[in-house]
């Protein structure tokens, strides 16, 4: 399956943010989406997952007729999307039940991101970096071919960044694909850059 975007344009608050943006994301590929602050990187991710309608252009999955991109994607945005009153494990149990196509168990996913010891702690008690790792553990509890990530390295220390790079390499090696809005390196080889704006 290939995620295809053709001639996308984005308008926010009456202002045209970007136009004529096209790309293809195929299995095993990683794209680093770059551009200055406010260029529209987060808006593009919102379009891809169906939260924002493009001003123009089209988004589709080639090889999966009548399936929306969001049904085949994991999305990790700026906000972690976690329920602070629930434990780390409960957040992942909920995500797995919601997303379907179970992969690792919540306990296994927490171990994979280096947080087996926080499974029973409410997420509200965790540091920003720990919360980010719990959010990233959602990538592991259900199978989705496309990972759409907004500043995935944010709040992560050096060791956690290396861990995430390893998870991304595994996903690519298994035929997954990644589009990451980023201002820094992803720790991957062969990343293709798609830049929004000058």
Let me know if residue 12 belongs to a domain.
no
Let me know if residue 8 belongs to a domain.
no
pLDDT of residue 54: 96
Question: What is the number of domains present in the chain?
Answer: 1
**Which DSSP string corresponds to 3-21?**
EEEEEEEEEETTEEEEEEE
Q: For residue 126, how far is the Cα from the chain centroid?
A: 21
How far apart are alpha carbons 20 and 3 in whole angstroms?
A: 16
Q: Which domain holds residue 80?
A: 27-52+66-191
pLDDT of residue 64: 84
Distances (CA, A) of 140 to 48, 157, 195: 20, 20, 28
Sign (positive/negative) of CA torsion 58, 60, 66, 67? negative
In tens, the pLDDT along 148-193 reads 999 999 999 999 999 999 999 999 999 999 999 999 999 999 999 9
pLDDT of residue 99: 93
Q: Can you give the CATH number for the domain in which 118 is found?
A: 3.40.50.300
Let me know if residue 5 belongs to a domain.
no
Let me know if residue 14 belongs to a domain.
no
Let me know if residue 105 belongs to a domain.
yes
Distances (CA, A) of 142 to 74, 103, 112, 131, 169: 9, 5, 14, 18, 17
pLDDT of residue 41: 96
Pairing relationship of beta strands 2-12 and 15-25 according to DSSP bridges: antiparallel
pLDDT of residue 119: 98
Residues of the chain with pLDDT under 70: none
pLDDT of residue 107: 97
Distances (CA, A) of 144 to 14, 44, 139, 185: 34, 19, 8, 23
Let me know if residue 57 belongs to a domain.
no
Q: Is residue 140 within 8 Å of residue 103, measured between CB atoms?
A: yes
Let me know if residue 13 belongs to a domain.
no
């Amino acid at each position: 399956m290939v995620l295809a975007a053709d001639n996308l344009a984005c308008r926010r608050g009456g202002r045209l943010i970007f136009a004529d943006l096209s790309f293809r994301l195929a299995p095993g590929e990683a794209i680093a989406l770059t551009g200055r602050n406010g260029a529209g990187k987060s808006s593009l991710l919102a379009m891809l997952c169906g939260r924002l309608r493009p001003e123009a252009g089209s988004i589709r999955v080639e090889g999966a007729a009548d399936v929306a991109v969001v049904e085949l994607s994991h999305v990790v945005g700026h906000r972690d999307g976690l329920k602070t009153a629930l434990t780390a494990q409960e957040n992942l149990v909920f995500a797995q039940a919601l997303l379907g196509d179970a992969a690792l168990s919540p306990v296994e996913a927490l171990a994979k991101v280096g947080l087996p010891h926080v499974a029973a702690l409410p997420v509200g008690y965790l540091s920003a970096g720990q919360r980010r790792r719990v959010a990233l553990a959602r990538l592991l509890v259900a199978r989705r071919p496309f990972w759409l990530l907004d500043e995935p390295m944010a709040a992560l220390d050096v060791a956690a960044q290396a861990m995430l790079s390893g998870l991304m390499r595994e996903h690519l090696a298994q035929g997954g694909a990644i589009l990451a809005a980023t201002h820094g390196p992803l720790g991957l080889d062969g990343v293709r850059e798609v830049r929004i704006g000058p």
